[in-house]
Amino acid sequence: MAEKIYFYDGTWQGIMSVYHGIIGGELEAGVMAKEKGENMQDDLFSEKIFVEAGEDKFTALKDRFIKAAGCDNYSMMLWAFLSEKRGIEGHILDFIRFALKNGKGSGNLLSEDEVMRVYSAAQQVRRECHRFKGFIRFEEIKPGMFYSGIEPDYNIIMLLAPHFKQRLSSQDWIIHDKKRNTAVFYDGSKCLYREVISFEMPDDSKEENEYKAMWLKYFQAMGIKERKNPHLQRQFVPVKYRKNMIEFDETGF
């Protein structure tokens, strides 16, 4: 019998729709993968099926899971999903089955493989999200509009949005994930998540360059030359994040 491969649209609602079908018995056990549809021809070794995201399916499984296992375990699954790790869809499915059986304390049973795989992925996403709350640097790209480009390891921009909505509630801003070509737009009232087809960074205004220069000067002035510790600094601010941080820009504006 050919192996079933269930493709979904890459969203949380999409994969939850697949889980709903498998757990409910509508779909046979199989492998799950993100796909856009162009490479979904059947072959001799697998049957490829695209599962549409469904609001009813998503809500039914979400409500069932939260009732049985609680909101904290649900959040842990979502954070693990955003890690985009290879095979994470299957690990989450294993955890859903485990948690539906074992209840709200499931997330604490870290000796169980079904739990630890999801917990570990979620923790990595949490740590990066926490880091980026301090690493994000906005710059004004036009009057009243602020932009930050980032390249996180994990898909965290929607997790960052509530923090900056609260902190910068009176400003319009964009957080752009340049690695995934997605962005969160905040218009002063609500956040919108969108794909970015193309984006060309406008030239900085004279005023923006002045602000950047002042920030860089402040950053350099606060440093104590005799206590400089590059190794410790790299632990707190890894090199891979620095190209989008103004204080590590050596161009001089």
What tokens were used for 230? Answer: 């590059």
Distance CA(40)–CA(24), nearest Å, equals 24
What tokens were used for 73? Answer: 């375990």
Residue 158's identity, in one-letter code, is: M
Q: Containing H/E element for 5?
A: strand 3-8
The domain limits of the chain are 3-126, 136-202, 206-253
pLDDT (0 to 100) of residue 127: 95
Distance CA(168)–CA(145), nearest Å, equals 11
pLDDT (0 to 100) of residue 250: 59
Q: Which of 48, 52, 50, 49 is nearest to 14 (CA)?
A: 52
pLDDT (0 to 100) of residue 252: 44
Give all strands (DSSP E) within 115-232, no chain letters.
139-142, 145-150, 172-177, 182-186, 191-195
pLDDT (0 to 100) of residue 43: 61
pTM of the model: 0.82
Please state, as a whole number, how many other Cβ atoms lie within 10 Å of the Cβ of residue 126. 19
Distance CA(188)–CA(117), nearest Å, equals 38
What tokens were used for 77? Answer: 């699954």
Give all strands (DSSP E) within 12-101, no chain letters.
31-34, 46-50
pLDDT (0 to 100) of residue 44: 59
Q: At residue 179, what are phi and psi to the nearest 5 degrees? A: -75, -35
Contact assessment for residue 249 and residue 137, using Cβ atoms and an 8 Å cutoff: no
As averages over each run of 10 residues, the pLDDT of the chain (253 residues) reads 84 96 90 66 72 94 97 97 95 97 95 97 97 91 89 95 94 94 93 87 72 73 75 76 72 45
Q: Which residues contact 78 (CB under 8 A, 6 or more apart)?
A: 12
pLDDT (0 to 100) of residue 246: 73
pLDDT (0 to 100) of residue 20: 96
pLDDT (0 to 100) of residue 36: 55
pLDDT (0 to 100) of residue 130: 95
